[in-house]
Amino acid sequence: MREITENKEYPGYLLKCNEHLKLDSGKSISNFQIAYQTYGKLNEQKDNAILICHALTGDQFPAEESPITKKNGWWDLMVGPDRPIDTNKYFVICSNVLGGCVGTTGPNDINPETSKIYGLDFPTITIRDMVRVQKILIDELKINKLVSVIGGSMGAMQVLQWAATYPESVKSIISVAGSLKHSAQNIAFDEAGRQSIMLDPKWHNGQYLDKDDKPENGLSVARMIAHITYLSEKAFQNKFGRNLQEKKDLSFGFGIDFQVESYLRYQGRSFVDRFDANSYLYMTRAMDYFDVSEEIQKNKEEIINNEVRFLVLSFTSDWLFPTKESKEIVSLLNSIGSNVSFAEVVSDRGHDSFLLDEPQFFRVSEGFLKGIK
């Protein structure tokens, strides 16, 4: 049994699913829920819907004011009235991913089998599992075919998984700053972040919520490590250089001397207020396991027969998901005969460019969507 209700914890909706969901690991979860938000209006034909897939530290609030941060949503420049993803025209859906910590079932929720918090008893998940849950939501909304599925970074992984697994349900795909699989370097960064969490004494082997505790230091360092990868060298240099933080001379100690140190510590501190440490572990592991290459090859006939159109976008200064990885996506899609467009956006702001004011990125995305009938 499935039921859509108003989300009392966060603005938006909850889809409660009283059923078992088998995961790629072979394990299952039951009585799970999906937290989501919508923007715009679904038309009578139910053929104007777009699904937004969020990145690692995102949530279901890409537009308007976020109830989490009290600031503009993480993709407010992209989604909204008269924006590239125009909510005057499209019905936009965004859900918190499986394993997340903003309403969708994850490791900090209650395990219905034990009536205790999951912690590390939550089964390991994959990007395909996340998309499997999103498909349940789209089906429950009685939407047969989405105009587009759009996302950047981890969201781009979900987007490609949609094309590979459910090509009959999408007209188009926009993959932004993504890849076919996680690189060894990115797996290494993820592992460094996970170790910083798990080596924090307050992690308590994943059971910190039972002890009313949080591995804040470990999660903060994990965020600092990750945030370094989101910016380019030039972005760091332009923003901070070697400027000192509210002082004229070096302290000759290990406090904050440089502005960039203050910035990273702020990023770490603010992150622990809105994110769950175990969710960080599970979601980074899902990214590590991601490799959609074989599935796209296997389902190439379905992708072609359903005439799925692709737009692949990268940014010149993104070294976390560099342009060469987007070109690998294009090459694979070309090899199976799919309809794919590619653009490399000139930006010196690194991986986070897809979240920032980049007019070329907006123009290309908006133009592509206008061509989807």
Domain-ending residue, one of 266, 283, 300: 283
Domain extent, residue 279, equals 186-283
* Number of domains making up the chain: 2
Domain-ending residue, one of 265, 283, 301: 283
Same domain, 332 and 220: no
318 is catalytic: yes
110: amino acid identity, one letter? I
Same domain, 177 and 212: no
Q: How far is CA 339 from CA 23, 134, 309, 336, in A?
A: 31, 24, 5, 9
153 is catalytic: yes
Same domain, 22 and 134: yes
Same domain, 177 and 196: no
Q: Can you give the pLDDT of all 373 residues of the chain as single tens digits?
A: 999 999 988 899 999 999 999 999 999 999 999 999 999 999 999 999 999 999 999 999 999 999 988 999 999 999 999 999 999 999 999 999 999 999 999 999 999 999 999 999 999 999 999 999 999 999 999 999 999 999 999 999 999 999 999 999 999 999 999 999 999 999 999 999 999 999 999 999 999 999 999 999 999 999 999 999 999 999 999 999 999 998 889 999 999 999 999 999 999 999 999 999 999 999 999 999 999 999 999 999 999 999 999 999 999 999 999 999 999 999 999 999 999 999 999 999 999 999 999 999 999 999 999 999 8
Q: What is the CATH number of the domain that holds 217?
A: 1.10.1740.110
Q: Which of 351, 352, 353, 365 is labelled catalytic?
A: 351
Same domain, 84 and 231: no
Same domain, 131 and 178: yes
Q: What is the CATH number of the domain that holds 322?
A: 3.40.50.1820
Same domain, 37 and 166: yes
Q: Could you write out the three-class secondary structure of the chain?
A: CEEEEECCCCCCEEEEEEEEEECCCCCEEEEEEEEEEEECCCCCCCCCEEEEECCCCCCCCCCCECCCCCCECCCCCCEECCCCEECCCCEEEEECCCCCCCCCCCCCCEECCCCEECHHHCCCCCHHHHHHHHHHHHHHCCCCCECEEEEECHHHHHHHHHHHHCHHHECEEEEECCCCECCHHHHHHHHHHHHHHHCCHHHHHHCCCCCCCCCHHHHHHHHHHHHHHHCCHHHHHHHCCCCECCCCCCCCCCCCCEHHHHHHHHHHHHHHCCCCHHHHHHHHHHHHHCECHHHHHHCHHHHHHCCCEEEEEEECCCCCCCHHHHHHHHHHHHHCCCEEEEEEECCCCCHHHHHCCCHHHHHHHHHHHHCCC
**Contact criterion met (CB below 8 Å) for 197 and 281:** yes
Same domain, 173 and 207: no
Residue 217: how many other CB atoms lie within 10 Å:
17
Same domain, 277 and 296: no
pLDDT at position 8 is 87
291 is catalytic: no
Domain-ending residue, one of 283, 305, 332: 283
Q: How far apart are the first and last CA of the chain?
A: 34
Show the tokens assigned to 359.
Answer: 């007019």
| Residues contacting 271, CB < 8 A, separation 6+ | 57, 219, 220, 223
Same domain, 219 and 80: no
pLDDT at position 167 is 98
Query: 302's torsion region: left (phi>0), alpha (psi -120 to 50) or beta?
Result: alpha
Q: Which of 109, 190, 318, 352 is labelled catalytic?
A: 318
Of 209, 331, 223, 205, nearest to 272 by C-alpha is 223
Q: Which of 148, 153, 172, 196 is labelled catalytic?
A: 153
Show the tokens assigned to 94.
Answer: 């965004």
pLDDT at position 268 is 96
Q: How far is CA 71 from CA 102, 283, 306, in A?
A: 16, 24, 39
Same domain, 147 and 238: no
Same domain, 52 and 22: yes
